[in-house]
Amino acid sequence: MAERFLTLLDMTKRNDSDPAIGLIEEVNTVSPELEELMGRPIDGTTYKAKKRIALPSGPAFRAINDGVPVISSQYDESISQCYFLDGQMQVDEALVEEGESDGNSREDILADEGIGAIRQKLIHVGDSFYRGTTADTKGFVGLQSLYDTANCEVDAAGSSGGARTSAWLVWNDIQGLHFIFGKNRGVELKNWQLQQVPVFNNAGARTGVQMAWVNNLSGWLGLGFGHTRSIVRIKNLTKAKPLTDALVAEAISKLPIFMRRSPNLRLFGNSNAELWLRQSRSTVSTAKTDSGILQFAPPVTESNNVKFVLTDSILNNE
């Protein structure tokens, strides 16, 4: 199963798409969700998700010459789909030639455009990972709509008067939360082509045509959600009610015991959440002594042995 549980970069490398590999390696840190969380490839663009909603019930033992009932689990099945990620790129022929006269190669100029395109798309995917169709109505459902609000929520009770944010604890597993890579591939960057394209002004009126280098970056991406308790939200975090190790411990307690032992747990938080967690751990002293000089906790890398992942994709004003 390990070779079927891959990151976006792994999937793209499997397709031998060298231009796309370089671009993802260049910009994947802007969307750590796609860098940290693995997923599985599927042949098509739709997939069935089967969830066990109840374990079998019945006695474990029986008396001699007695019988036991036949038991079975209860399941719920749904059909989900991948969504088409598409980044259209267009670079004016004149701009490329001007750059070449300044000593830049055409390949470098077009690669720079590709980096910008994939950076924008991965940032958008990161936003959709949390806010789902609120961020993009044509994309997948995000964590805010997937998690169990009755059983998998920790409320820090921060006031609505200030900026509020959330931290998210997820179990990245085939049976938990994971990405789906449709058509058995990651993202593809095609060959740049020089062709005639229409030109429009800011009002949307067509003004003529030009020759331009065109390309697109594309792929099929979905978000798989198995076990209903594989996502826990720590909400209403503020400066007065910050993220703490105690809140993370409470979030972990919401998970089934077998998940808590997994090395695939990840805690996602933005810069505010990370700063508040550091401050909650710190003992600050202004005394110029050998024992304690301006002590402050180091950057957060984990909490309760769960890896902390810093991201810009979680809003500060939820």
Which structure tokens are listed for 118? Answer: 């994939």
Computed from CA positions of residues 266, 269, 271, 273, in that sequence, does the dihedral angle turn out positive or negative?
A: negative
Per residue, the 3-state secondary structure of the chain, as one string, reads CHHHCECHHHHHHHCCCHHHHHHHHHHHHHCHHHHHCCEEECCCCEEEEEEEEECCCCCCCCCCCCCCCCCCCEEEEEEEECEEEEEEEEEEHHHHHHHHHCCCCHHHHHHHHHHHHHHHHHHHHHHHHHHHHHCCCCCCCCHHHHCCCCCCEEECCCCCCCCCEEEEEEEECCCCEEEEEHHHCCCEECCCEEEEEEEECCCCCEEEEEEEEEEEEEEEEEEEECCCCCEEEEEEECCCCCCCHHHHHHHHHCCCHHHHCCCCEEEEECHHHHHHHHHHHCCCCCCCCCCCCCCCCCCCCEECCEEEEECCCCCCCC
pLDDT band at residue 3 using 50, 70 and 90 as cut-offs: very low
Res 196 pLDDT > 90: yes
Q: How many CB atoms lie within 10 A of CB 300?
A: 21
Per-residue pLDDT at 113: 84
Choose between 89 and 23: higher pLDDT: 89
> Residue 157 region, left (φ>0) first, then alpha (ψ -120 to 50), else beta?
left
Give residue-wise pLDDT tens across range 52-96: 666 677 777 888 888 878 777 666 666 788 999 998 999 999 989
pLDDT band at residue 1 using 50, 70 and 90 as cut-offs: very low
* Among 197-211, 251-265, 274-288, the least confident range: 274-288
Q: How many CB atoms lie within 10 A of CB 257?
A: 7
Per-residue pLDDT at 189: 81
Q: How far is CA 11 from CA 15, 35, 148, 220, in A?
A: 7, 12, 30, 12
Choose between 184 and 14: higher pLDDT: 184
Give residue-wise pLDDT tens across range 114-135: 888 888 888 899 999 999 999 9
Per-residue pLDDT at 119: 82
Q: What is the mean pLDDT of the chain?
A: 85
Res 317 pLDDT > 80: yes
> Residue 161 region, left (φ>0) first, then alpha (ψ -120 to 50), else beta?
alpha
Give residue-wise pLDDT tens across range 224-243: 998 999 999 999 999 999 99
Q: Is the whole model's pTM more than 0.85, yes or no?
A: no
For residue 15, which amino acid is it?
N
Which residues, 6+ apart, have CB-to-CB distance to 278 below 8 Å?
A: 296, 297, 298, 299, 300
Q: How distant is the alpha carbon of residue 68 from its chain centre? A: 46
